[in-house]
Structure 1
Amino acid sequence: MALPPVSDTGAVLVTGASSGIGEQIAREFARRGYRVILVARRAELLDALATSLRRADVLAADLADPAQRAGLADRVAGLGLTVDVLVNNAGLANLGAVASVDPAAELRLVEVDVAAVVDLCGRFVPGMVSRGRGAVLNVASVGAFGPVPWQASYGAAKAFVLSYTQAMGEELRGTGVTAATLCPGPVRTGFGEAAGIPDEEAEKLLPKFLWEQAGDVARTAVEGLARGATVIVPGAPNRVAALLYRLAPRWLLLPILARSHPGRTRT
């Protein structure tokens, strides 16, 4: 079984747990009896979620801040817990052409979407290996399978997460620790709105059959992790889209993506 068993001292650490997919993944693990550690910037939302779960701890932190990331391991140890499952779900997305976006916002995206994944894996995976049990779920996107014009940094960050996790998973073979990448398509979470693309606008551009609910994505993710899947794409239509994304010639694919992306009209 790819998921470690429930224990009194082991926990599932979920970043970006205050809403959306992260919240639902935390709920799914809690439903399965795991203790969860909820990490995000908004402590009040984490506290509200924790009260609805049976065993949950809150560690508010801004993952764009290297010092706050570095402190998480000691804070977890202070709870008397070890991280048996690490879920790197926290993420940011920016919208617009490279020539017009704010460099500071781009670098913050890299800190959260890339550096935090590497940082937290580097801090918690060694303990999993030493104990001979554990699992890592890093959240990417269908956009990880190819470039994303008008969201160049986001697509590149998610491609990094996919490549990094696949390589790490191979390194972990035989250790009792597994690693998987979750690559969802469009999900109604409000994540896009934070980047400047409200769900209502995105739904006009993307076919309805591609859209998934956050709860369904979370269940698919945890089930995939439990059976040892390495790349998890929720929904058959999105699995087809991911395949086409990987196989289509870039000279054909990129102009189509660029013309259809809402960011094209916002620069």
Structure 2
Amino acid sequence: MPTALITGATAGIGAAFARRLAKDGLDLVLVARNSEKLAETADRLRGDYGVTVEVMQADLADDQGISRAEDRLRQGVDLLVNNAGFGHQGTFLDVPVEEELRMLKVHCEAVLRLTYAALPGMRNRRKGGIVNVASVAAFFSRGTYGASKAWVVSFSQAVAQDVKDPNVKVMALCPGFVHTEFHERAKMDVSGIPEALWLDADDVVGSALKDLKKGVQVSVPGPQYKTIVGLGKFVPRNLAGILSSKTGRRYD
């Protein structure tokens, strides 16, 4: 039975991936920090879809947590979803440098190391896929968060080029605002974001899986965000940076 490992699997886009992949009949390895939520999520997926679900309590801001996930990936999986991530409450210099480094650990180092652990087995079997969850913020100036997601996009494209096997796919997923707990956990005030800019997590996952199957290297779900990213290429970088920095960055 094909197996998918998902990080940040108990909430938001990660939970939506877990539901969709379980519905499609894949066995799952769920990675998250909260052991209670992991157990609840696993029980629900087993009951609803009859799949095998492993759980791994691990903090990917910690070397030990990353190492545990690496070890499991080296045993072999068919799909890796690097979804774990978070946002900061505040702008640069308002956030302690330790928290900025923690973000880079989760968004960049963990993504690199888990991709590195998963790919050899996929190449040997000549099949597999990796989805690295980035953000539309990757295309605009948006503090350490946007910079880290820009790294995810560039890294994913580079790895996809290096793999040189059409049956092993690597893709960066770049959603915009998605109805999840993400913004609430970061204490962001997003009340001013127009409803037209909000995406549904299940729709994001559906779009991502279609794009992965087609071999798309950078997936931007939603026509509104495809337009925004496309137009953003023609806006002066300093102006785009000013607009992006202000959008959705009020804090409670």
TM over 0.5: yes
The counterpart of 1:246, out of the listed 224, 228, 233, is 233
Paired with 2:209 and 2:247, the residues of 1 have a C-alpha distance of 32
The residue aligned with 1:57 is 54
Q: Which deviates more, 211-220 or 221-230?
A: 221-230
Match of 2:213 among 218, 226, 237: 226
Runs of 4 or more, structure 1, over 6 Å off, are: none
Match status 1:183 vs 2:174: yes
Separation (CA, whole Å) in 2 of partners of 1:226 and 1:119:
23
TM-score by length of 1: 0.87
Shift of 1:89: 0.3
Equivalent position to 1:34, from 13, 17, 26: 26
- Shift in Å, 1:175: 5.8
1:25–1:222: 8 Å Cα contact kept in structure 2?
Answer: no
Matching residue of 1:132: 126
Give the 3-state SS of the residue equivalent to 1:17 in structure 2. coil
Q: Aligned AA for 1:49?
A: T
Aligned twin of 2:10: 18
Structure 1 match to 2:93: 99
Distance in 2, matches of 1:185 and 1:66, equals 29
Asked if structure 1 preserves the Cα contact closer than 8 Å seen for 2:170 and 2:217, the reply is yes
Compared with structure 1, are the counterparts of its residues 254 and 65 closer, same or farther at alpha carbon in structure 2 (3 Å cutoff)?
A: same
Match of 2:67 in 1: 70
Does the aligned pair in 1 maintain the 2:87–2:186 contact within 8 Å? Answer: yes
Distance in 1, Cα, partners of 2:104 & 2:42: 28
Task: Tell me the residue number matched to 1:153.
Answer: 144
Secondary structure of the equivalent of 1:234?
A: coil
Q: CA deviation at 1:72?
A: 2.2
Is contact 1:93-1:195 (8 Å) kept? yes
1:179 maps to amino acid: V
- What is the CA–CA distance in structure 2 between the aligned matches of 1:173 and 1:116, rounded to whole Å? 23
Say which is worse superposed, 54-63 or 65-74, in terms of deviation: 65-74
Give % identity: 37
- Aligned-pair CA distance for 1:261: 4.5
In structure 2, the CA distance between the partners of 1:230 and 1:76, relative to structure 1 (3 Å rule), is closer
User: Per-residue deviation at 1:259?
Assistant: 4.2
Equivalent in the alignment of 1:3: none
One-letter code aligned to 1:184:
P
- 1:4 alignment partner in structure 2: none
Q: Could you tell me whether the CA contact under 8 Å between 2:73 and 2:117 is conserved in 1?
A: no
The aligned counterpart of 1:210 is 197
CA gap 1:35/1:103 in 2 versus in 1, 3 angstroms = same
* Aligned positions, number: 247
Tell me the CA shift for residue 60 of structure 1.
1.2
Equivalent position of 1:143 in the other structure: 137
Q: Is the 8 A contact 2:141 2:240 kept in 1?
A: no
Bigger RCO (CA 8 Å, 6+ sep)? 1
Which residue number corresponds to residue 185 of structure 2?
Answer: 194
What SS does the corresponding residue of 2:178 show, helix, strand or coil? coil
Distance 1:21 1:212, change over 3 A: same
**Deviates most, 45-54 or 161-170:** 45-54
The corresponding residue for 2:83 is 89
Q: Which runs of 5+ in 2 are unaligned?
A: none
Q: In structure 2, how many angstroms separate the alpha carbons of the residues matched to 1:117 and 1:47?
A: 24
Aligned equivalents of 1:170 and 1:52: distance in 2? Answer: 38
Instruction: State the Cα RMSD in Å.
Output: 1.7
